Structure 1
Amino acid sequence: MLTTYLNILVIFSMILVGYALSAKKWFNNVMIDAFSKLVLNIALPLNMYLNMIEKFEHDQFMTLASGIALPAISIVATFILSKVFCVVWKVTPSRRGVFQTMFTASNTIFMGLPVTTAVFGEQAIPYALLYYMCNTTFFFTIGISLIASDKEGASMSWSFDWREVARKLLNPALVGFFVGLVWMLLELPKIKPLIDFSRYMGGLTTPLSLFIIGMIVYQTGWRNINFDKEVIGVLLGRYVVSPLVVYLLGFVIPVPALMLKVFMLQSAMPVQNSMPMLARAYGADDVFATSSLIYSILSYLFVIILYLFIWI
């Protein structure tokens, strides 16, 4: 429990550093845009690539592959429920893409992996990474398209303009992820200079992402970080609907007990760290994304206690 809380407090500390340095006028909107481009186009893709080739082995992946059905189906089911929720909850049309993405996708690496390891130990890492693969694939394909669709205040449209579809889907982070996946499956040699470069650059992802959140909070102003009905809807998706879907699917798709618990814990993580950056980059509502992220992290301090008593 203590380790879990310390992981969460480290995240808050880095957000506060970004906030404090913005208050000291070290950072401004130009710096936010520059750091966002650095993370989204260089650091995050290399981080994705490194995760795949360092944390998976070919034989291990093939052994675990049969368990991928449950997280994949659960994410699709949660996404469908998010669309229903948008109608029932009367989510503002210009926020629906961001809402559905945050409702469905969880923070599986920056927060999910250390928390899962703290709770279940090293043996849980392969199961956590299975969920991460499905979550990441959704987030950087359908999720990106949903976020981009909010710029016009319309729902996502799958037109047959293949260049536009490719531009949305072949984003740098997803390319890095799939390059790493293919590299691992083909068992290509690990080139030390490339690994070292990826580790140094990819290591910027978490601190810069958290700095940017603090910077956005400062630029937005605490008074504008709203706890409204739509933020509550996101929290329900993250902490109630998503893990409940995984639990119910466990009756239909039998998996080992530890695997199911890890999938449930991974599904019930806060909003993705990169949501405010992506919302800002694609012209969506970055204030809503930032508000949802901040409150999802704050509420997780209490939610994790409940989960540990119920599941563990």
Structure 2
Amino acid sequence: MLQAYINIFAIFALMFLGYFLSYKQWFNNQVADAFSKLVLNLALPFNMFLNMTENFSRDEFLSLFSGMIIPLLSMAATFLISLLYRRLFHISKTRQGTFSTMFTCSNTIFIGLPINLAVFGEKAIPYVLLYYIVNTTFFWTIGIYTMAQDNPEIEQQRLSFHPVVLLKKVLTPALMGFIIGLLWVMTTRPVPSFLQNFGGYLADLTTPLSMFIIGIIVYSNGLANLKFNKDILGVLIGRFVISPLIVWGLGFVFPVPALMLSVFMIQSSMPVQNSIPILARNYQADEDYAASSLGYSVLLYMIYIPILLKIIL
């Protein structure tokens, strides 16, 4: 347990370093964009590929997808609860869609992957990706649709999801790295040493760059600009209480390996998606509300995660 806390502290130290270097003007939003591209298009795909080929056999993988029912049902239930919550607690009409998306969707990669690696090691990565697949699919379909509803002037035809566009959003380079790794596992052939070494160097960039990105985002939003209100409190309740409780309850209905359930609980309780403020601006929703929710969820997560680990480990 102590080692897990030390590992997590190191993760957040990287985030604070990213914040400090942004303050020193080493980093800015353009650097964050470049880091995001490096992580999502190079580091993370190789990370997924190598972990699949190094940590799983064909038989082990075939039993993996049985657990996907839990993130599917948990996210559906969390979203429905968000609809009830915003009605009961009178969430502002110009924030309701953004509220439901933040209430339901997790930051499964930029924070979720490093935290799970710090706590469980590389054996957790396939389970991280299972939750990521469901989370990403939900976010780019129902999540974006509901966010767009916050702008009363938006035209309905702008919200139609072309199958090709949706497929590009869901079939990310990270997921393709996973799929290629899966196909390689099925062949039972060893990965060439050059590919292991080259990919390993890139894969090692995933955690530091991801946390630098979060540090840059927190600095860019500005700690002084964070405004707390009851609508943000609702998001925090959804992220840190309701979502992991639903996953925990589903674990009794659908028995899965203990590690898988623990990873799902951590993934379900991650802070708000880091792209939410950008998308809120794009759809002319409440950008300040989205940015404040992101900032508070990231900062409070440092207090929350040791409590969650104490409960589940």
- Structure 2 residue 20 is matched with structure 1 residue 20: yes
Range with greater deviation from structure 2 (289-298 or 39-48): 289-298
Question: Cα distance, 1:251 vs. partner?
Answer: 3.6
Residues 175 and 227 (structure 1 numbering): CA distance in 2 closer, same or farther, change over 3 Å? farther
Structure 1 residue 151: Cα displacement: 6.5
Conserved 8 A contact 1:58-1:187: yes
1:41 aligned partner = 41
Give the Cα–Cα distance (whole angstroms) in 2 for the partners of residues 174 and 278 of structure 1. Answer: 21
Unpaired runs of at least 5, structure 2: none
1:143 alignment counterpart: 139
Q: Partners in 1 of 2:183 and 2:291 — Cα distance?
A: 33
Q: Taking structure 1 as reference, are residues 249 and 201 closer, same or farther at Cα in structure 2, changes over 3 Å only?
A: same
How much does 1:153 deviate?
4.8
Residue ranges of structure 1 left out of the alignment (5+ in a row): none
Q: Is the 8 A contact 2:131 2:264 kept in 1?
A: no
C-alpha separation in 2, matches of 1:202 and 1:95: 38
Contact 1:140 1:173 in 2 (8 A): no
Deviation, 1:207, is: 0.9
Distance in structure 2 (CA, Å) of the matches to 1:148 and 1:169: 13
Does the 8 Å contact 1:44/1:173 carry over to 2?
A: yes
How much identity, in percent, do the aligned residues show?
38
1:291: Cα distance to partner?
A: 4.3
Q: How many equivalent residue pairs?
A: 301
Residue 55 of structure 1 aligns with which residue? Answer: 55
Distance in 2 of aligned mates of 1:54 and 1:93: 47
Counterpart code for 1:236: I
- Name the CA distance, whole Å, in 2 between partners of 1:147 and 1:71: 15
Shift of 1:143: 1.9
Partner residue in 2 for 1:180: 181
TM-score (norm 1): 0.76
TM-superposed CA distance for 1:57, in Å, is 2.1
TM-score relative to the length of structure 2: 0.76
- What is the CA deviation profile of residues 140-183 of structure 1, one whole-angstrom value per residue up to 9, with x for unaligned ones? 32223456554785699873623322332233233223222333
Q: Distance in 2 between matches of 1:22 and 1:302?
A: 23
The code of the aligned residue for 2:36 comes to S
Partner of 1:200: 201
Report deviation, 1:212: 1.7
1:116-195 map, 5 Å: 117=120, 128-129=124-125, 131-145=127-141, 149=145, 150=147, 153=150, 159=160, 161-195=162-196
- Correspondent of 1:276 among 251, 258, 274: 274
Give the 3-state SS of the residue equivalent to 1:105 in structure 2: coil
- Look up the SS of the partner of 2:113 in the other structure: coil
TM-aligned CA distance change 1:151 to 1:188, over 3 Å: farther
Counterpart for residue 114 of structure 1: 118
Determine the structure 2 residue equivalent to 1:30: 30
Aligned counterparts of 1:170 and 1:261: Cα–Cα separation in 2: 24
Aligned 8 A contact 2:133 2:170 in 1: no
Asked whether the 8 Å contact 1:246–1:263 carries over to 2, the reply is: no
> Residue 5 in 1 paired to residue 1 in 2?
no
Q: Contact 1:231–1:292 (CA<8 Å) still a contact in 2?
A: yes
Give, in whole Å, the separation in 2 of the partners of 1:182 and 1:98.
38
CA deviation after TM superposition for structure 1 residue 25, in Å: 1.7
Pairwise CA distance, 1:276: 2.0
- 1:137, distance to aligned residue in structure 2 (A): 0.6
Give how far 1:244 is off: 1.8
Structure 1 residues 95 and 203, CA gap change in structure 2 (3 angstroms): farther
Q: CA RMSD in A?
A: 3.6
Shift of 1:267: 4.5
Rounded to whole Å, the distance in 1 between the matches of 2:83 and 2:20 is 37
CA offset at residue 51 of structure 1? 2.9
